[in-house]
Amino acid sequence: MRCHECAADQTLTPALGGRGRVCTIAPNPIRKSSGPANGVGHRALANATMQIRRAVRALFMALVFSLLIAPSTDAAAQTTRTLGTPIYVLRGALGIFSSGMDALADEMNDIGLPAVSQPFENWRSLTDRIVKAYRAQPYPIALVGHSWGANTILLMAYELEKQHIPVALLVFYDITNSARIPPNVKWVVNYRSTSAIGGEVKVVGGHGFSGVIDNITLPDLNHVEIDKNESLHQWTIYSIKEALGLHR
């Protein structure tokens, strides 16, 4: 994963005890040859080494997250009771390019985080449900979206800001427009690809914003792959649990 701040290949691990992440710089051990004779061999070696690194990283991430996100029965029951609405996960255009959002919602439900995947067009009615539920009993709000779904969870945050309702977390999977985050949002995780739409998008704090924005650039994923990446799903679940206070 490539760190947005230092533009170096890094292994990201959750910063236990607080939001954000700890970056450990991992220098690239493959040196490119300038000679044409060894170019093919070096490329093959580089590709093989990269595949091994990815396999080891995936195995490590699976082990770490199996320890981090597995909830107790009591924690899952408490989460269900304290959330006024499910965690809304919004798909992008036509609903056919964001199947990863359906899978993410299923994964959250499997561990006791109530979640529902919805088409982005439903954002107004979903916002109304959140307002009604929050007025009855305040609760932490987390929203996730891919592509146009990411665009519309930002709109939902602005509508909630008008109602003086805080948003604990927004998770963008390749939002397609540059965005200014309203002051009612506490934390933003912005996953963006460099090979597609998200590469030129900037997410910054708007007037009065005092929260945290994590911009995470993923050079190996394009716009239609990013929502389906299992490692990002696990990071999203970890972030949601952190925002909801389930790691304390």
> Alpha-carbon distance 161 to 35, whole Å?
59
Evaluate whether residue 175 is within a structural domain: yes
Amino acid at 109: N
CA distances from 139 to 82, 124, 130, 136, 181 (A): 6, 19, 10, 10, 20
Residue 153 and residue 235 in one domain? yes
Judge if 48 and 123 occupy the same domain. no
Contact 216, 190 (CB under 8 A): yes
CA separation for the pair 90, 83 (Å, rounded) = 18
pLDDT of 200 reads 79
> Against a cut of 0.75, is the pTM above it?
no
Residue 124 φ/ψ, nearest 5 degrees: -70, -45
Report the relative pairing of strands 212-218 and 179-181 from DSSP bridges: unpaired
CA distance 126 to 153: 10
The boundaries of the domain holding residue 192 are 72-243
Looking at residue 221, the DSSP 8-state letter turns out to be -
Asked whether residue 55 falls in the same domain as residue 125, the answer is no
> Do 54 and 105 share a domain, yes or no?
no
Q: Do 121 and 61 belong together in one domain?
A: no
User: Does residue 248 lie within any of the structural domains?
Assistant: no
E strand or H helix that includes residue 214: strand 212-218
pLDDT of res. 31: 34
- pLDDT on residue 52: 60
| Residue entry with tokens 């005890």 | 17
- CATH assignment of the domain containing 82: 3.40.50.1820
- Token output for 146: 């891919």
The tens digit of pLDDT for each residue in 212-232 reads: 999 999 989 999 999 999 999
* Dist CA 197 CA 98 (whole Å): 14
Helix (H, G, I), strand (E, B) or coil at 39: helix
Q: What CA–CA distance (Å, rounded) separates 6 from 177?
A: 23
Strand order in the sheet with 212-218: 2-3, 212-218, 187-193, 169-173, 142-146, 87-91, 115-119
Size of the chain in residues: 248
For residues 123 and 49, state if they share a domain. no
Residues of the chain where predicted confidence (pLDDT) is lower than 70: 1-82, 95, 195-199, 247-248
